[in-house]
Structure 1
Amino acid sequence: MTMDHFSEYKAIQNEINAALETYFTADCPQKELLDAMRYSLLAGGKRIRPLLLVKFCEISGGDRAAALPAACGIEMLHTYSLIHDDLPCMDNDDLRRGKPTCHKMFGETNAVLAGDALQSAAYCAVLSAPAVPERTAAMAKTLAFAAAEQGMCGGQYLDTSKEGLPVTEAELYEIHRLKTGALLRAACVMGVQCAGGTPEQVSAAEEYAMNLGLAFQIRDDVLDTISTEDELGKTIGSDAAEKKTTFVSLLGVEECGRLVHLHTEKAKAAAAGHFADTEFLCWLADLLADRRK
């Protein structure tokens, strides 16, 4: 069964990658800007957010093909956040997905503009989804809220404003509930919305995503401590260099391992009973909890 799930994961990932390849291909005077956008968008990655959107659409009774434009949109917005997160004024990272970061390849100005353009293009993609107009509008609103001051940007603000300052466990949870969790929640909820799912399914999707996001971030902090740059494909130790508190620096590796397991099990329990089939969601939660990169 595990191999079947992995095959499905790769199949959806390949569909998403093929769909992303169709964007930003036109010849225009802004070629270097498009190159910067495509460089970061097509640099690989797990495609977790678009994959979650597609799967939640399917298990809520929707069609995978109808979800692909919105899936591409959320990956564009995620990529914009990574480009800006890597900038010298933010996390100051030189490596992302095993390659030089966007600002290292194209300069800071072009990296900022590439992120801005991807953010705008994300909504064009979502709004082009062949769904009922009310569902399309709901997806766009969900994505906008997740990216704004009460979501991802709010989390980034809290993260940067706490550099060098003591942070409590509750504050750290709030930072990553927004910075990491908001877009994961949007992905799951948008999938349900694309299919016209029920309010109960939306609530279950939110609970699954919240716990998945916390497990993902805590595992990320552990890997940043125990892995090498070659293993992760990104800069390690940047949080320590910027004097940011992480789950590992606050709680230790052993306690973090316990919390990853706890939130993974909570995610799996949240989805149970609300959808046609949650086996893939449970498998994915376990996969991310045990990942090495």
Structure 2
Amino acid sequence: MTSLTAKDIMRKVFPVADPEEPVLEAAKKMVEHEYGAVLILSDDGTLSGIMTERDVLRAVAEGKDIAQIPVKDLMKKTTVVVHKDVPVRLVLQLFGAYKVRRMPVTDDDGRVIGVISSTDVVYEAIPKVLHPLAGRIGDAMKPAEEVEDSVPSAARYFASKKVDGALAGGKLISERSVIRALLDSTKPSERAERVIYVPPEMNLRNASILMKLNKIRFVMNDNNYAFTRDIAIAATERAEFTMKSYILIKTKPGFEKEIAEKASSLKSNIVSIEYVAGPYDLVLTALTGPQEEVKDLLIPLLRDKEQVVDTLTLVVLGEKYLGGSGE
């Protein structure tokens, strides 16, 4: 099991703004660093506040002149922070619990020494802590709505809907797309996100690896998209699925399909169901957490003894993937 901590996946270079600095200048720093917020730090390096892309777009949507208003007028003084030595699995849980896109990382004295975004989690954490069979990218996707391809309209949309993506001019745009368009005096679609289309069956781990290789934050299927935050949240409940088992089930004649349907309702744990020939009728591949007994998983399938004759559970003690590294 990995011993990764927050400091292992954090980025050490991040944008910082002065409270009196114009919001427009701070927004330029976000774009330059490709990070969706600026941090406001005290003289001792502790966190005083944070201003995000959404805060900027909310001001634009309200008709404010972001070249004239200072950062202190938009910044929030509270946000989720994490200590540098917190295990990555707990970092994942924080992303899932608070549905955040980013969190500052602090040292023992409370000084900010780095930041972790949902993109950092997808690039650096998920490929290392998530089982290859845990989770489908399709389960993390949501439909992208069409918006007018202009900065004011897109800003109002993102400020009110609180979503991560939308379609403008047939392209996927984000809050960053709108800020880039604002700075460049162009349309959001001309600063659209780079995306790759993936099948919904692709597992979260492979999707994360693909996104890192291509340096993208979004994947799509048809008009549905998944942002790195969606993937980080989807990975949260599956990060503890570390034990793989094969469950062999012998049913009474004619009950194979019914038992398979019951097993499919346990989709968060059961990752495949196969009909086989021989002494058993079904083979289930299951992922469970370290504290979860496989027998507890079987209880819903074994309530009706008229349907199941026998079961055999094989716990996988180690795996090696041909053509790749061992797990």
TM-score range, shorter chain: under 0.3
Task: Pick the structure with more strand per residue.
Answer: 2
Normalising by structure 1, we get a TM-score of: 0.23
Q: Between Structure 1 and Structure 2, whose CA radius of gyration is higher? A: 2
TM-score w.r.t. structure 2 length? 0.21
